[in-house]
Homo-oligomer: A and B are copies of this chain.
Amino acid sequence: MIFSKTFGYAIRGVLYTAMVSNGKKVQLDEMAEVLNVPRHFLGKVMKRMVKEGVLSSMKGPYGGFFLNENTMTTPLYKIIEITGESETFSICTLKLSKCNSDNPCPLHLKMEEVRKECLNILSNTNIGDLLSKDQPDFIQSITTI
């Protein structure tokens, strides 16, 4: 499954915030540098996360991004929605808009199962799940591009 770069940035941004902020807030500058992501672009991505309630932010000195009550339980699919990619799971592989179960293209059935499996993963995995593994070099795994 190929999703946008934006999706990758979003996940990594949220995960990084969750990992390093123990009460304190994480600044965009730090985040962009450590994640090796264009700062202003990341800013817009994170802004959308905040707007949709996945994360919170505060301006001014000692401001930055921080977790809220939703963050850990946000399913990855929610982030797919926010980055505008939920159509991924309904768009026909051959890009036929009229393709569906009743009028399937020749690839429809075979692809349907893969699509569903992927949708299941993204719906049933949340941010907390990604963090809860005892991966010693977790930070490294999301910052090494």
Contacts and interface: CB of A to CB of B under 8 A. Distances in A.
A118 to B, nearest CB: 5
Contact of A106 (B1, B15, B92): B15
A121 B117 contact: no
A83 to B, nearest CB: 12
A93 interface: yes
Given A142-B96, A145-B97, A133 B114 contact: no
A34 interface: no
A95 B95 CA distance: 24
A92 B11 CA distance: 13
B88 A138 contact: no
B95 A8 contact: yes
Interface in A98-122: 98-99, 103-107, 110-111, 113-115, 117-118, 121
Interface string A117-145: 11001000100001101010110111011
Interface of A: 1-3, 5, 7-8, 11-12, 15, 76, 88, 91-99, 103-107, 110-111, 113-115, 117-118, 121, 125, 130-131, 133, 135, 137-138, 140-142, 144-145
Complex A-B, nearest 6 residue pairs according to Cβ-Cβ distance, in ascending order: A106-B130, A8-B94, A8-B95, A98-B144, A114-B118, A110-B121
